[in-house]
């Protein structure tokens, strides 16, 4: 039949219609309430669009989220109500939306998404749920934990999307395309020398593009440069010589922007990636890594000044008075010393470090280390569960020899970068970086399963053919 009646869709459409009528009646009242943030009024119609796409076009909705989320933080900030920890806006709606999309997709195809995700993240998820009930601020813990849930949802989603090597390549291209707007905006900031809110007299001019902090943009650039360089060198993706040159030029632009983020840990992560790639696959790359990079650190003021700042010492007074690494170490030491031994096992609850930081460091200060944050908020059990997830992912990638070796190398390097960045920064707070990272890692693991199944099927067909040949000869 050309038109098939679906009772479920009719009911859902009727509910959406009622919501539209309800919002139409009460939106005028919100004009006075939210007069200072008129952008909030756009949340309701956008939510309606989200709901309709969630019902009728889930894959397209997820594609648009991946493609556009990298440059929407400034827009979402306009719709945010409340403080930093308890505020809620359209960004929170998108978080919930992604979790809902993943639930729908996994419900439709539970294997292998549910199986792999539970084995990798099950223990950490339980610890995070428990931390909500131990937290001093339940609202703050819920908001923070929703970010964690969205990371796990993003990790699980590729297992429902990728059914072939072509699907993997398609979604990697979507991830790469999502970088265009942030890179262009970062280049605009650089050319106009437009100082962001995190540029100051001490650190100088820093670019942050569409992200909330230069550090997040820096980690994102390293992630994208790693992914693009892997795409250029893998045999899975057929690229013309012209496209290879374009992508190499694109990486150079990213590296220039990376310099002006002035994020030292991101510089180190980028240096380590290209050094390992040169040692393993292309020795010519070592010339640029071991000669050009040190020369830049000597003659480029933005790099030289930031590196020299590491050696500056002083008295720990408050955030920013010492060099960044010295006050980090003192903050970590004070936080662990402040903890009661009875809290070493389960910690003080989700998002509690910032809540209690005024008692041992500075008011409203983040941990600036994922490992210290996990010990403080989830105890050593949380740290062990998180470390277990990373180890399991690395083990699955290493043992899967069917995956292209460059893809395998790239995923392992992304994991190494994440561990390095987590040592000295609030990586669990950086939603955009985590979304793109865990989607790519989930996609690689999903590709590994697809390739393994294809190999097994091929081997089975060969064995059957051999048996038929033996029977025929007899």
Span 418-429, average pLDDT:
95
When comparing pLDDT for 407 and 17, which is higher?
A: 407
28 has a pLDDT exceeding 70: no
Q: Judge whether 207 and 260 are in contact, CB under 8 Å.
A: yes
- The more confident residue out of 180 and 318 is 180
Per-residue pLDDT of 59-70, as tens digits, reads 888 999 999 999
Partnered with residue 200 across adjacent β-strands are 204
Q: What are phi and psi of 204, to 5 degrees?
A: 80, -160
At 249-304, the pLDDT tens digits run 999 999 999 999 989 899 999 999 999 999 999 888 888 888 877 777 766 666 66
Strand partners, 204: 200
Say which residue, 430 or 21, is predicted with more confidence: 430
Residue 328: per-residue pLDDT: 86
- CA dist 34 and 126 (Å) reads 37
Nearest to 348 by CA among 90, 133, 38, 152: 133
393 pLDDT higher than 90:
yes
Q: Where are the alpha helices (DSSP H) in 135-233?
A: 138-156, 158-161, 165-177, 180-192, 214-233
CA-to-CA distance for 377 and 420, rounded, in angstroms?
A: 20
- pLDDT confidence tier of residue 320, bands split at 50, 70 and 90: very low
On average, the pLDDT of the chain sits at: 83
Confidence check: pLDDT of 49 > 60: yes
Task: Give the pLDDT confidence score for residue 368 in this predicted structure.
Answer: 92
Please give the residue that has the higher pLDDT: either 144 or 181.
181
Better-scored residue on pLDDT, 138 or 293: 138
Which range in 103-117, 155-169, 353-367 is most confidently predicted, on average pLDDT?
Answer: 155-169
Q: What 3-state DSSP class applies to 361?
A: coil
The arithmetic mean of pLDDT across residues 425-441, rounded, is 95
Is residue 199 over pLDDT 80? no
Predicted local distance difference test score (pLDDT) of residue 326: 80
Contact 221, 258 (CB under 8 A): yes
User: Is residue 239 over pLDDT 60?
Assistant: yes
Q: Quote the CA–CA distance of 216 and 430 in Å, as a whole number.
A: 7
The whole-number pLDDT of residue 440 equals: 97
């Amino acid at each position: 039949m050309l038109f098939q009646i679906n009772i479920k869709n009719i009911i859902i459409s009727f509910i959406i219609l009622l919501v539209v009528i309800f919002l139409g009646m009460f939106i005028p009242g919100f004009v006075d309430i939210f007069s200072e943030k008129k952008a909030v009024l756009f949340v309701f119609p956008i939510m309606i669009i989200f709901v309709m796409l969630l019902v009728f076009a889930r894959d397209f909705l997820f594609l648009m989220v991946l493609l556009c989320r990298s440059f929407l933080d400034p827009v979402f900030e306009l719709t945010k109500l409340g403080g930093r920890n308890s505020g809620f806006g359209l960004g929170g709606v998108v978080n919930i939306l992604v979790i809902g999309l993943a639930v729908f997709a996994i419900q439709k195809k539970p294997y292998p998404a549910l199986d792999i995700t539970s084995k990798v993240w099950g223990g950490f998820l339980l610890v995070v749920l428990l931390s909500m009930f131990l937290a001093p601020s339940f609202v703050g813990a819920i908001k923070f934990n929703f970010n964690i849930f969205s990371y796990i949802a993003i990790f699980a989603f590729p297992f429902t999307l990728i059914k072939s090597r072509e699907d993997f390549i398609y979604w990697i291209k979507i991830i790469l395309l999502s970088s265009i707007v942030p890179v262009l905006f970062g280049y605009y900031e650089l050319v106009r020398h437009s100082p962001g809110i995190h540029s100051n007299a001490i650190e100088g001019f820093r670019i942050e593009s569409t992200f909330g902090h230069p550090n997040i943009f820096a980690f994102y650039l390293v992630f994208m440069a790693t992914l693009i360089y892997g795409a250029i060198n893998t045999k899975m993706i057929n690229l013309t010589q012209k496209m290879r040159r374009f992508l190499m030029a694109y990486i150079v632009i990213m590296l220039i922007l990376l310099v002006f983020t002035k994020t030292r840990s991101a510089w180190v992560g980028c240096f380590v990636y290209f050094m390992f790639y040169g040692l393993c696959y292309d020795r010519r790359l070592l010339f640029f890594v071991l000669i050009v990079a040190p020369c830049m650190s000597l003659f480029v003021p933005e790099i030289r000044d930031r590196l020299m700042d590491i050696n500056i010492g002083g008295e720990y007074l408050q955030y920013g008075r010492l060099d960044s690494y010295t006050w980090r170490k003192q903050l970590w030491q004070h936080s662990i010393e402040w903890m009661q031994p009875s809290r070493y096992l389960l910690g003080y609850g989700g998002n509690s470090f910032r809540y209690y930081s005024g008692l041992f460091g500075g008011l409203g200060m983040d941990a600036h280390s994922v490992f210290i944050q996990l010990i403080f908020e989830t105890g050593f059990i949380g740290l062990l569960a998180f470390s277990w997830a990373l180890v399991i992912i690395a083990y699955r990638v290493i043992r899967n020899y069917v995956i292209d070796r460059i893809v395998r190398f790239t995923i392992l390097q992304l994991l190494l970068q994440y561990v390095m960045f987590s040592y000295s920064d609030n990586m669990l707070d950086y939603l955009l970086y985590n979304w793109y990272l865990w989607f790519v890692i989930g996609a690689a693991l999903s590709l590994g399963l697809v390739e393994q199944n294809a190999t097994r099927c091929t081997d089975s067909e060969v064995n059957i053919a051999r048996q038929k040949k033996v029977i025929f000869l007899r």
